[in-house]
Amino acid sequence: MSVQPAPPPLPVPTLPRGRRRRTAEPVERSVISAADRRRPSVRVVLVGVQALILVGLLVAGLGPLLWLFKASISTSQDILRHPFAFWPSGVQWGNLATAWERGRIGFYLRNTAVVALGSWVANLFVSVTAAYVLSVLRPKWGPLLSGAILVTLFIPSVVSLVPLYLTVLDLPLVGGSLLNTYWAVWLPAAANAFNVLVIKRFFDALPAELFEAARIDGAGPVRILVSIVLPLSRPILAVVSLLTVIASWKDFLWPLLVLQRPDLQPLSVALPQLTRTAELNVQMAGLFLALLVPVLLFLLFQRQFLSGVGMSGGVKG
């Protein structure tokens, strides 16, 4: 169970790479061989299935998003009466502005960003320091701590939902309440055993001679972490960061429980309220605006997204 120091090789080629077809065949063969591909019957079926799947994916993957875009600049009448009309009877760009202003989409987006960024910082800080202790500093009590963290992986988060809420409501020992503060979201998010263990496994595989050399040169533990361990760990930190930000961006139940003041709520919690009060086309415009940021980020960083997901093996908290 040890990871290679290099970023785990994840050949999920997501970007087109020029002349792949000619050069890559001997290295990268799969079910259908080059000989098969030259047979006309195989080629026809392959092209046919490919076209069919492409159409299906366009309808199922892109269709709803395009429909939402169309609905967000239509009249409510159009959405209700002619859901399949290709072009709205009148383009109302004003819906987007109305949703932005009245629904305060920008304001809630900022809250979402605050929640996500804070969770990210807290998570990385806790996971990196913990992994550093367990993997590089290796105190005598390391295995004990590591076991205590590992055990929480086996215990589903459901069991602590209510007690966690009560803890946030009234912190034991120190007193005070985190309710309606962002700490209530940031700190529980930082207690992520999966991230600690993934980073620890990566640290485990870094060459120990480097730390030894740095120590001999007089570097303290902080210096070794900052100057040696962290720069070498960029790939795993990127993956963990991405997964953490996505998870907190999508979270609904926990922020709903602990951020009850509307001016603190992230967009995911505030949107259902908006859809209860606004007109249909303004609702759609609000949904479209809420969608825009994650979709654009995904299109910009597709490669990192897809390899991160491939690597996580679909571990969902």
Partner 1 sequence: MAIEVRAAPPPLTGPPRAAAGPAPRRRRRGFTRWWHGGGPAAVLFAVPVVLVFAYFSWGPIVRGLVMSVQSSGTAAPAEFVGVENFSYVLTDPLLPTAVGNTFYFALLALLFGFPVPLFLAVFFAELRRRRWLFTVLAYLPVVVPPVVAILLWKVFYTPSADGLFNAALGVVGLGPYPWLNSPTMAMPAIVLAATWASAGSAVIIYLAALSGVRAELYEAAELDGAGIWQRVRHVTIPQLRGVILVMLLLQLIGTMQVFTEPFLFTGGGPQHATLTILLMIYNYAFVDGDYGAATALSLLLSVVLAVLSATYQLATRRWSPER
Is residue 300 within the footprint of partner 1 (CB under 8 A)? no
Work out the widest C-alpha separation in the chain, in whole angstroms.
76
Of residues 98 and 152, the one with the C-beta less far from partner 1? 152
The answer to whether 138 contacts partner 1 (rule: CB under 8 A) is: yes
User: Does 64 engage in binding with partner 1 (CB under 8 A)?
Assistant: yes
Q: Which of 94, 106, 143, 156 binds partner 1 (CB under 8 A)?
A: 156
| Count of C-beta atoms within a 10 Å radius of residue 33 | 11
69-108 residues near partner 1, rule: CB under 8 A: 71, 79-84
CB of 294 to partner 1, least distance (A): 5
Contact with partner 1 (CB under 8 A): which of 115, 265, 268, 282?
Answer: 268
> Footprint of partner 1 on residues 211-230 (CB under 8 A)?
211-212, 215, 220-222
Is 243:308 a contact under the CB 8 Å cutoff?
A: yes
List all residues 6 or more positions away from 187 whose beta carbon is below 8 Å from its beta carbon: 122, 178
What residues numbered 16-45 form the site for partner 1, per CB under 8 A?
16, 20-21, 24, 28-33, 36, 42
In this chain, which of 6, 38, 141, 217 binds partner 1, going by CB under 8 A?
Answer: 141
Site membership for partner 1, residue 240 (CB under 8 A): no
How many chain residues touch partner 1 (CB under 8 A)?
Answer: 126
Give the residue with the Cβ less far from partner 1, 90 or 156.
Answer: 156
169 binds partner 1, rule: CB under 8 A: no
Among 44, 51, 97, 161, binds partner 1 (CB under 8 A): 161
Query: What single letter denotes the amino acid at residue 90?
Result: G
Binding residue (CB under 8 A) for partner 1 from 73, 133, 198, 240: 133
132 CB-contact burial (10 Å; exposed 0-12 / middle 13-18 / buried 19+): buried
In contact, 211 and 170? CB cutoff 8 Å? no
Residues 6+ apart with CB under 8 A from 10: 307, 310, 311
| 160 is a contact residue toward partner 1 (CB under 8 A) | yes
Q: Would you say how long the chain is, in residues?
A: 317
Which residue, chain included where needed, has tokens 């490919």?
50
At closest approach, how far in Å is the CB of 290 from partner 1?
5
Q: How far, CA to CA in Å, does 119 sit from each of 91, 113, 142, 191, 226?
A: 39, 10, 25, 10, 21
Phi-psi region of 309 (alpha: psi -120 to 50; beta: other; left: phi over 0): alpha
By CB under 8 A, residue 205 contacts partner 1? no
